[in-house]
Structure 1
Amino acid sequence: MWKKVDSVTSDGLTSADEDDRPRRRRLRRRSRLDSLIDSSRRSDGYISDVSIPRAGYKLIEEEKSARGKVKGSVVWDFLRAFGICFAISLVALLILYQGVGVGASIWLSRWTDDPYLQNHSLVETELFLTKTYTYLAVYSALGFVQAVCALAFVGNISLRMVVASKRLHDALLENILRQPMKFFDTTPLGRVINRFSRDVDMIDSSMAKLVRMFCQQLFTVLSVIVVMTYTTPVFLAAAIPILFIYYLVQKFYVPCSRQLRRNESTTRSPIYSHFTETISGATSIRAYDVVERFALESQKRVDINNAFFYAFTSASRWIRIRLELLGNLIVLFAALFAVVSDKLTGSLVGLSVSYALQVTSTLNELVQNSTQLESNVVSVERIVEYSRLPQEPAWEVPSKEIDDDWPRRGDIVFHTYSTRYRPDLDLVLKNVSCHITDGEKIGIVGRTGAGKSSMSMALFRMIESAGGSIIIDGVNIADIGLHDLRSRLTIIPQDPVLFSGTLRFNIDPFGTHSDDEIWTTLEYAKLKSFVAELPGGLSYLCEEGGQNLSVGQRQLICMTRSLLRKTKVLMLDEATAAVDMETDSCFCVLLISQTQHNWTKESLILVLDAGRIAEFDTVPNLLENKDSVFYSMAKEANLLNYNPPHRHINEEETTA
C-alpha cells in the first residue's frame, strides 16, 4: 500500500532538468520517512504515532473511531435535526413523483396502443380529436404534477439540510464551549477543528445531494420493478436472484468502505494538530534547527491519511465493476422475456425494455450512493459524538438562586478542600483549610507545582472538588450555578487576553458601563491619553489577540476590564509581570480606588507546599522564623535585603 501511495505523491514526480543534489536530498528524506514509519509499525500492521511514548501514562490518548454500523441513535439525531415531519412529507412527495411518472408511462403506452387512434382514416372525425386531446391533456397534467413534486422535493431537501447542518453545528459548538478544562488538556485542537471543518462541511456540501440521489434512485428501482412486473410478471423469477446478489455484494462492500472512511477521518485530525503546532511554534522550530524533522512528521501523517483515502477509492472502483455486470444481466433477461412473451404489445415491450435499460445505471448509482451516504453519515456520527460529551456542571441552578449583590463582603473559607485535575491523577490540593476575611490581601506563594494556580482554578470551579468545600459569604460554591459564581468573581491573569473587536468591547464586553466610567478607569490606568489618540478612540479595532498593541498595553486593558466590575473577590495571577515599575505603582492606585476594599488590614502570606498549607502568617512573622519555608524562598531569591520603592497615595487618589 505504501508503495502505491508513493507513486502518486509529489516526491515521485521529478522533472528531467532537476539536478542531482535536490533529488538526493528528497530521497534521503523519503528514506528517513520510510524508516520512521517502519519503526512505528505495530505487529498488527497499524501505523502508530511515534511522537507519543507508548510506555506509562499518556496525557493525550489516540483518537477512537466507532466500528460496525452507524448506530440508530445517530440517524435519529440527524432526522430530528432535519425535521421528522419534513422527512415524512418528502417521502410522500417522492412517492407521488414516482407514482405519477409510472402512471404517465403507462398512460403513454395506452395512448400508443389505442386501436381507434391507429386508424389514420379517422383523423378528421370528432371522436379522434376528442381522444387525442384527452390523452394529451392527461399526459400533460401528469407531467406538470411530476415537475411540481420534483421541484418541491429538491428545494425542500436542500433547505432542510442547511437547517440540519446548522442545528448539528450549534449543538456541537454549545457542547464544546461547555466542556471542562480536562477536555482541552487531553484533546488536541486538531480533533476539534476536524469536526468543525471537514465533518460540518460534509453535511453542508454533500449530504443534501447524497440523500436526494439515494431516495430518487431507490424509488426509481422500485418503479422499474413495478413496471416490469406489470408488463412481464415472469421477470421476477430472474430479478429476485440478481437482487439477492446485489445485496450480498453491498453487504460485503459497505462495512469495508464505512470503516475506511472512519479511518480516513481519524487520521486527518493529526494533520491539523501538527500543522497548528508547527505554525504556532515556527520560531522555536527554526531556532532549534528541527525544520526537517517537522517536515518529515507532517509528510508521514499526510501519507497515512492518503493511504486510507487511496484504499477507499480503490474499494469504490472494485464494486462498480461488479455492479455493471449485474446490471447488464437484468437488461438481458428483460429483453429476453419481452421477446418470448406472446401477449405483449409493441408499446409494452418498449416500456419494459426502456425501464430495464435504466436498471444498470440506477442500481449501480444506488449502491454507490447508499455506500457513500453511509460513509458520510460517519461525519454526523463524529459530530454527535462530541455533542454528547459530558459537560461541566450546570450553568444556572434555579433551586439555588443567590442575591444580586452576592458576595457582599468577600469572606472566603476553605474547609478541608481537596481537588485534582482529572479522576486518574493525584490530588493537587490536599485538605486545605483557611479563612480569608473580607478586605484581607493574601499572597499565595510556593514552589513550582505547589498548587498556587490550582487555588484560583478551584475558586472559579474550573476543577471540581474531590473533598471538602469552599464557602464564600456563607454560600457553598458547589451548590450554585457556574454563571452565578464566575460572574461575581474577577481574575487578572498573567497573560493578557483580548478578542477581535473594538476597544470598548474588550473593556466592557457586556455593555453594562457608561463611557464616563470607562474613561475614568482608563485615566487611573494611565491609558486615557493613549486611547484618546487612537483612531476612533474606544471604537478602535483590536486585532486577534491584540496583536496591534504592546504586551504592556494589553495587560493594562485587561486590568481596566477586570477592575471596572468592582467585585469583592479579586485574584491577581502575576498581573503586573508585563508592565514597568511606574505602571505597577499606578496599578496599585487603580486597585485601591476601584475595588473600594478595606485595605487597612495587613497583608498575609499563604505558603503552599505539595498541595498543603505550610505557613499562613504576615510577612514580618514569616521572615523572623528562619526555619520557615517562606524565609528559605526569600533567601534563595535574594529578597531579604530588598527594599521596594513606595509611592505615597493621598486621599484624593483613593477616591473612586
Structure 2
Amino acid sequence: QGTLKDIQCAEPELFEQWRALMNRQDKENTTELKRKSFRRPMYSTDTLATEDEDEDSTTSTDEDSLRAELRHRTTIPWSSFATYLRSAGLLLLPLLVLSQLTKHTLMVAIDFWLAHWTSRVIAAQIGSAERNCTSTKDCEFSHSSYLQVFCGLCALGIVLCLITSLAVEWTGLRVSRELHCSLLRTIVLAPMRLFETTPLGNILNRFSADTNTIDQHIPVTLECLSRSTLLCVSAVGVISYVTPLFLIALLPLAVACYFIQKYFRVASRDLQQLEDSTEMPLLSHYSQTIEGLTTIRAFRHEQRFKKKLLEHTDANNISSLFLMAANRWLEVRMEYIGAFVVLIAAVTSISNALCSQLSAGLVGLGLTYALMVSNYLNWIVRNLADMEVQLGCVKRVSGLIHTQPESYDGLMTPAQVPAGWPKYGEIQIKNLSVRYDSSLKPVLRHVSAHIRPGQKVGICGRTGSGKSSFSLALFRMLDTIEGQIAIDGIDIAKLPLQTLRSKFSIILQDPILFSGTIRFNLDPERKATDQMLWEALEIAQLMPVVKALPGGLDAMVTEGGENFSQGQRQLFCLARAFVRKSSILIMDEATASIDMATESILQKVVMTAFADRTVVTIAHRVHTILGSDVVIVMKHGAILEYDEPDVLLEQKDSVFSAFVRADK
C-alpha cells in the first residue's frame, strides 16, 4: 500500500514484477508528464511580493495555531474527568472521597503514634539511667497500652483499605455500565446520518477499546493517582509540622516539579499514542500473514512478509523504548527533587531539634516521610500522564453519547393510531422536500405523487437522482424541510417512529439474515403459526430447501445467512415480508445482486402473493418495472416523468423509453 515510489523502495521484487506489465503508452505518458513539469513558470515582481506576504501571514497563523495546540495539549481534560465523576453518581462519589481521606488520615495517625511510642520508650530509658534503677521492675516500661492502641488503629486501617478498594471497584463498574448503556442507547436511537459520516471502525472502537479502558484501566489509575497524591500531601504536611521552616524551601521545589511534570506529560501522552498506533499495524500484519499463509508460500514471498514484520516490530519497539526512556528521565529528576527534600528536611529537623527540644521520634518520622517524597512525586506525574490518555476514551465516548437522537415521539400516541393501520396502503405525497442533514442540500425537491391502494409503482433514474431517498423518506430517516407524506390519510410526521416503521416491510439489495433458526428469521416476534411460515416458504419457493435441512424450521442460519446463496437469502426476506402481512412493501434495488432466474421468481411472487398490497419498487434493471402500474422517473431529486409504462414507451423522446432501449 502506498505510492509507486514507496513500493519500489520497500518491495523491489514486487516492483520488478509489475514493471514487466507496464506498456509503452504508460511510459510515453510518464515522459510527457515529466517534460511538462520542467517548464519554468513566469511570475511578475508584484506576484512574488504578494506571495511573500501571504507566506509570512501563513507562517504567523501556523505559529499561533501551534501555540494554541500546545496550550491545549498541556491542559488537563477536566471536562472529561467531570463526566467520569458524574457517571459515578452523587452517593458513591462522596463515599469514595471520604474513605480515601479517612484511610490516609489514619495512616498518618499510626505513624504519629509509633513516633510518640518511640519517644516515650527513649525517654523512659534515659530516665531509668538517670535514676540508676537497681530493680528490673522499677525500670520496666509498660508497652501494653501502646500496643493495644496500635493494634486497634491497624485493624481500623485494614477495614478502611477494604472499604476504599470496594468503593474504587464499585465506582469503576458503575461508570463503565452507565457510559456503556448511554452509548448503546445513543447508537440505537441515532439517525442514519451518524452511520454515513462516522466510520464503522470508530464506532466499534468506542464499544471495545475505549469501553475496556474505562472499565479496566481508569479505576486503577485513579486509585493510584489519589493514593500517591494523598501520600505526598501527608508527607509534606508531616515534614512541615515537624519543621515549619521546610515550607520556605518548598516553594522553589514545587515550581521545579510543576515544570518538569508539564514537560513530561506532553511527551508521555504522545509516546503512548505512538506506541498504540505502531502496535495495530503489527497485529494486523501478523493476522493477515496467518490467514494468507498458503498464498504467501505459493508465491514464495516469505522473505517479503518477514521483512515487513520486522519493520513493524522495530517501529513498535522504538516507541516502547522511547516511552521507557521518558519514564527514566522523569524518575531521575524526581530523585533529584527528592534528594533536595531529604537534605532540607534533615537540616531543618536537626536545627529545630537543637533549638527547641524536638523529640527523636518526630525527627525520625519527618526524615522517613522525606525519603518517600521522590517516589510519590514520580508516581503522581506518571499516573497523571496515564490518566490524561485514558480520559481521552471518556471524551470520545461522551462525544458520541451527545449525538442528537431521532425524534421517536410523535404528536399521536400509539393508542391514537387506528387499529390495523395502514389498512389500504394509500400513499399521498404533497410538495415534499427532504435532506440528509441541516447542513446539506435537499435530495428531494417539491415531490408530489399519489399511489393508490394495491398499486405497483416502479421508480427509476440515474445514480444520485433520489430513488433511495424516496424510500428513506417513507421511513422518516431524512429531515423534512416542507411538505408531507400521508398514508391512509394520516401524516406520518405525527406518528411515533416505532409505530411507523413497524408497519412497513422492505427488501434491500443486500439481504439481511440473523444468526438463529429459520423460524426466528421469518417471524422474530413469534406471532405466526407454523402453517403460516410454511405457506410463506411455499410462496417464496423455499419449501424444498427448508425441508431438506435437518430440523426444518428449527434449522440454524449462520451469521449473515452464509449457508444460503444470495438469491435464497433474498427469497427468505420476501417470505418474511409476506409473514408480516404489511400493506406496503418497498423493494430497494432488491434484484440488483441476484441472478436472472431468482429475479424471475421474485417478480412472480410479488405479482401474485402481494397482488392486493401496495408495492414500491426501486429498479436497478429497468425491465423489472415494465409490469408496474405506474412508473416514476426521477432526476436531481425531482419527478421528471410519472405515468403508465406503456404510455411512456410510446413517447420515443421520453427518458424512460431511453432507459429501456439502453437496458436491452
Normalising by structure 2, we get a TM-score of 0.76
Q: Does 1:390 align with 2:404?
A: yes
Q: Does 1:588 align with 2:604?
A: yes
Q: Does 1:508 align with 2:523?
A: yes
Q: Structure 1: any 5+ residue segments left out of the alignment?
A: 1-20, 30-42, 45-64, 639-656
Partner of 1:624: 650
Paired with 1:225 and 1:273, the residues of 2 have a C-alpha distance of 46
Asked if structure 1 preserves the Cα contact closer than 8 Å seen for 2:422 and 2:503, the reply is yes
Give the Å deviation of 1:316: 4.1
Q: 2:118 aligns with which of 93, 112, 119?
A: 112
Paired with 1:208 and 1:369, the residues of 2 have a C-alpha distance of 11
* Cα deviation digits, residues 147-194 of structure 1 (max 9, x gap): 111111112212321221122122223223333223222222222233
Aligned partner of residue 114 in structure 1, secondary structure: helix
Paired with 2:72 and 2:413, the residues of 1 have a C-alpha distance of 40
Give the Å deviation of 1:304: 9.5
Partner of 1:533: 548
Q: Does 1:337 align with 2:348?
A: yes
* Cα deviation digits, residues 427-457 of structure 1 (max 9, x gap): 3322111111111111112233322212111
Q: Does 1:210 align with 2:224?
A: no
Counterpart of 1:229, as a letter, is S
Aligned partner of residue 580 in structure 2, secondary structure: coil
Paired with 1:298 and 1:573, the residues of 2 have a C-alpha distance of 44
Aligned partner of residue 416 in structure 1, secondary structure: strand
Counterpart of 1:634, as a letter, is V
Q: Structure 1 residues 301 and 613 mapped into 2: Cα distance closer, same or farther (>3 Å)?
A: farther
Q: How does 1:447-462 map to 2 (within 5 A)?
A: 447-462=462-477
Q: 2:557 aligns with which of 539, 542, 556?
A: 542
Partner of 2:458: 443
Aligned partner of residue 564 in structure 1, secondary structure: helix
Asked if structure 1 preserves the Cα contact closer than 8 Å seen for 2:265 and 2:381, the reply is no
Paired with 1:296 and 1:570, the residues of 2 have a C-alpha distance of 55
Q: Structure 1 residues 553 and 478 mapped into 2: Cα distance closer, same or farther (>3 Å)?
A: same
Partner of 1:321: 332
Q: How does 1:53-68 map to 2 (within 5 A)?
A: none
Q: Does 1:361 align with 2:375?
A: yes
Q: Structure 1 residues 441 and 307 mapped into 2: Cα distance closer, same or farther (>3 Å)?
A: farther
Paired with 1:27 and 1:333, the residues of 2 have a C-alpha distance of 67
Q: Structure 1 residues 398 and 548 mapped into 2: Cα distance closer, same or farther (>3 Å)?
A: same
Partner of 2:242: 231
Q: Structure 1 residues 587 and 619 mapped into 2: Cα distance closer, same or farther (>3 Å)?
A: closer
Give the Å deviation of 1:237: 2.1
Aligned partner of residue 104 in structure 2, secondary structure: helix
* Cα deviation digits, residues 110-156 of structure 1 (max 9, x gap): 2222258545977647x968x42211111001001111111111122
Paired with 2:499 and 2:656, the residues of 1 have a C-alpha distance of 35
Paired with 2:96 and 2:260, the residues of 1 have a C-alpha distance of 29
Normalising by structure 1, we get a TM-score of 0.77
Partner of 1:477: 492
Paired with 1:323 and 1:553, the residues of 2 have a C-alpha distance of 69
Give the Å deviation of 1:488: 1.2
**Number of residue pairs aligned between Structure 1 and Structure 2:** 574
Counterpart of 1:427, as a letter, is P
Q: How does 1:545-584 map to 2 (within 5 A)?
A: 545-577=560-592, 578=594, 581=597, 584=600
Partner of 1:39: none
Paired with 2:143 and 2:392, the residues of 1 have a C-alpha distance of 53
Q: Does 1:497 align with 2:512?
A: yes
* Cα deviation digits, residues 348-381 of structure 1 (max 9, x gap): 2221211111111111111211222123211111
Structure having the higher helix fraction is 2
Paired with 2:279 and 2:476, the residues of 1 have a C-alpha distance of 30
After alignment, is 467-476 or 93-102 more displaced?
467-476
Q: How does 1:128-167 map to 2 (within 5 A)?
A: 131-167=142-178
Give the Å deviation of 1:298: 12
Asked if structure 2 preserves the Cα contact closer than 8 Å seen for 1:217 and 1:363, the reply is yes
Counterpart of 2:410, as a letter, is V
Asked if structure 1 preserves the Cα contact closer than 8 Å seen for 2:279 and 2:316, the reply is no
Give the Å deviation of 1:66: 7.5
Paired with 2:464 and 2:606, the residues of 1 have a C-alpha distance of 31
Q: 1:91 aligns with which of 78, 94, 97?
A: 97
Asked if structure 1 preserves the Cα contact closer than 8 Å seen for 2:648 and 2:656, the reply is yes
Q: Percent identity among equivalent residues?
A: 34
Partner of 2:20: none
* Cα deviation digits, residues 542-564 of structure 1 (max 9, x gap): 22211122112211211122221
Q: Does 1:433 align with 2:469?
A: no
Q: Structure 1 residues 320 and 208 mapped into 2: Cα distance closer, same or farther (>3 Å)?
A: same
Partner of 1:11: none
Q: Structure 1 residues 70 and 233 mapped into 2: Cα distance closer, same or farther (>3 Å)?
A: closer
Paired with 1:71 and 1:366, the residues of 2 have a C-alpha distance of 16
Counterpart of 2:459, as a letter, is I
Aligned partner of residue 635 in structure 1, secondary structure: helix
Partner of 1:81: 87
Paired with 1:228 and 1:411, the residues of 2 have a C-alpha distance of 84
Asked if structure 2 preserves the Cα contact closer than 8 Å seen for 1:70 and 1:381, the reply is no
